[in-house]
Amino acid sequence: MADPVSSVKHITEIALKIKHAVETVQRNKEDCLKIRRRVMRVSDILSLLHETQNILSSPAVRAALEDLAETLHHAHTLVVSCQEKNVVCLFCAATTLSNKLRRVNDQITDQVMVGILATTVHEIANTM
């Protein structure tokens, strides 16, 4: 497993890439904006974990962060694909891409919930 601090840093870097990519999307702008908003909030919250090395030492938290980073990378790829200007692509793939964007947004939410569960259980275990 990767170093947890590196995972948080990697997530922050991907979040910034998504933020910048959304600025130039040509289609599915609303879905992309929702992803950007969610990703930036998650990134801001995760930046607080830098100060909490104890939580980051948990294998469950590390795994949750790695899964989240992987999903954010996929989200970035989808957002970048919305930057294409090809008119044929706009009509053919807009609905399919919109569905993929919504699914990845849901996956981000699911993985954040797993991360919350992992940190909560870790904290409870350390207070016993």
82-96 tens-digit pLDDT: 887 765 555 666 678
Q: Mean per-residue pLDDT for 91-110?
A: 86
pLDDT score of 46 more than 60:
yes
Question: Six-digit token pair at 63?
Answer: 């795994």
Helix residue spans in the chain (DSSP H): 4-22, 29-46, 53-56, 59-81, 87-127
Residues 6+ apart with CB under 8 A from 69: 7, 10, 11, 14
- Say which amino acid occupies 95: T
